[in-house]
Amino acid sequence: MRPFVSAVYDVTVAVPKGHPIPSVKSFLKRQPSVVHFHIKRYATKGLPESDEGVAQWCKDRFVVKDAMLEEFRANDTFEGKEIRDFRIPPKKSLIVAIFLSCIFSIGAIMLIQRFSLLSNWKGISSLAFAVAFDAILMYTFIEYTKLPEQGKVQATVDGQAVKLH
């Protein structure tokens, strides 16, 4: 496995007290969730060579992970760990919406040319319907990808209070 895998990622996921556990249903309802991730990368070069050594290393990681989760249950945070804000900027949603709109428009132009849709009223009304459908689709996409306003979030980085906007 070592020649193909350059690193192993240890991921710990926790939900603070008083917050609902995220589900597909809450995602589809666009209900915000609070989830904390602790991710640590271990290069495979630094791992033990033997199978027994790797098994012991994994057991040691789970002991550390259990202690970290106990600490999280007590404090609702991974104390002293670096905090990064991974919210998707709205510009990315806009770029995706514009890209999808361009693809849809190119497809519409190709249909117009192939079937000569501008030569009769039926074609013109079909084209108007397609443009309206495109506008509704893009509006729905943009609205669905917006995150609800949650106010300012406060976190700690190396013991210092940090405000995330």
pTM for the full predicted model: 0.49
Average pLDDT over residues 81-95: 63
Q: Output 127 or 145, whichever has higher pLDDT.
A: 127
Residue 12 scores a pLDDT above 80: yes
The answer to which of 24-28, 93-97, 98-102, 136-140 has the lowest mean pLDDT is 93-97
Q: Where are the domains of the chain?
A: 7-80, 90-145
DSSP-assigned letters across all residues of 47-114: S-SSHHHHHHHHHHHHHHHHHHHHHHHHHSS-TT------PPPHHHHHHHHHHHHHHHHHHHHHHHHH
Answer whether residue 116 shows pLDDT above 70: yes
Q: Is the pLDDT of residue 111 over 50?
A: yes
